[in-house]
Chain A
Amino acid sequence: MKFLCIDCDTQMEFEERQQPGDGTFGAAFQCPRCRRRIAMLANPMETQLVGSLGVKIGGRTLDEQPMELVRGSLAGRDDAFADVPAPSAGRPRWSEQSQDRLARVPAFVRGMVKKIYSDYAVDHGIAEITPDVMDRARTDLGLEDM
């Protein structure tokens, strides 16, 4: 997929993606010449189609997790997976509120979600995961359903 600035006849560059929460997927692109910005907005069905490929528009900012597509898309049993916790040294703390929020994530995918937020915090030098950090990670990583 390429975006072309017609006036400049120049390929636009990917800037950021957003998932506002209604199933919409948005990706912003900018023309490197005239600096004009555009947003591509996909409806929920189109968002689901792209998501079903197991890809992220604009590329990945975090390594793909084991069975990420299955765990994020299948209505699975709570006890299907036993996630082996990473060694606690160097890992962020979880605030009480963020733990409450994590507890509301279906058990089928919870271990993976916890790892994604923890990896995000480590990558960004965050010592404690709070609901605010979770919101930021959701936006940055395109994790609308997590």
Chain B
Amino acid sequence: MTFRGYHEVEGGDRSGLVAQIGAQHERVQARLSTVRRVVAVASGKGGVGKSYLTAALALAAARRLGGVGVLDADLKSPTTAQMLGARGPLRVGEGGVEPARGRGGVAVMSSDLLIEEDAPLSWTGPAGDRFTWRGLLETGALREFLADVVWGPLDLLLVDLPPDADRLEDLAALVPSLTGAVLVTIPSEASRRSVARAMRHAQRAGINLLGVVENMSGYACGTCGANGPLFPGDAGARLADAGGIPLLGRIPWLPAELGDATHPSLEACTAALLGALA
């Protein structure tokens, strides 16, 4: 017995799965049609301060632009909503889910607004086989955060990605109009190596890299403001050289909570990013 191949059977796909996946992508495109630029904040390394930087960039950008949003794609360790002071509940209307509003009027969507305080991200479904479908649900959640949130007219939507380099590629697949990505590192060699891998991964995927930010680049004294050493290394400059992309800024470790008034280095970094986007 010999079967014909899928494409040799001329009829349409009666299961409808392909058409529905296509429709899902169209929903994302339609929703983001009012968003001028979508920029990912990514790294290959955890603990480099992506979420802090995303929130800080959003606040600084909101003072310069018409509308700014933050999508926290770090589903398992969401922090940007709290940093921006955004709270639920999220209103659900016919048009979709209204984003929460953080400081500076920043529109925010995060799993932090959906799960119980201090609770881990947990999916319902048959126990024992979670590893087979959890990744699909996480990508699906990212898709719904993009497509089902009423982002409205925004000049800039920042997407705070988890450390996994694959997530940047997933985002680029969901958002073909992705403007680009900012890579975040700390000065250390260990961070440079991890972020270099993510950078190579992104470049192979054809993602436009807007630049590198070196976070925790020294320690800004809360009393005198002087910048002292924190981590050895110059990962930011080396990554920028290796990737042929700009070093957008060096942000010292700041001993205060993120506030409305930000450090000059954050303002300069935001200006450099917006310059790269111009």
Give the residue name and chain of the B residue nearest to A115 (CB): B92
Say yes or no for A55: interface residue by CB 8 A criterion: yes
Least Cβ–Cβ distance between A19 and chain B, in angstroms = 13
Say yes or no for B91: interface residue by CB 8 A criterion: yes
Report the Cα distance A91→B89, complex, angstroms.
25
Asked if B90 and A82 make an inter-chain contact with CB atoms under 8 angstroms apart, the answer reads: yes
Report the Cα distance A57→B20, complex, angstroms.
9
Asked if B15 and A58 make an inter-chain contact with CB atoms under 8 angstroms apart, the answer reads: yes
Q: How many residues of B contact A (CB 8 A)?
A: 52
Say yes or no for A127: interface residue by CB 8 A criterion: no
Say yes or no for B4: interface residue by CB 8 A criterion: yes
Main secondary structure of the interface of A (DSSP, over half): loop
Place the interface of chain A in its size category. 35 or more
**Given A55-B21, A70-B141; 11 other pairs, CB 8 A cutoff:** A6-B1, A27-B15, A48-B125, A54-B140, A66-B144, A69-B140, A70-B145, A76-B114, A80-B88, A82-B90, A108-B114
Interchain residue pairs with CB less than 8 A apart (10): A2-B15, A11-B9, A11-B10, A48-B126, A48-B132, A66-B92, A68-B144, A69-B144, A74-B123, A82-B92
Tell me the A residues contacting B by CB distance below 8 Å. 1-4, 6, 9, 11-14, 23, 27, 29, 44-45, 48-50, 52-60, 64, 66-70, 73-77, 79-84, 86, 108, 111-112, 145
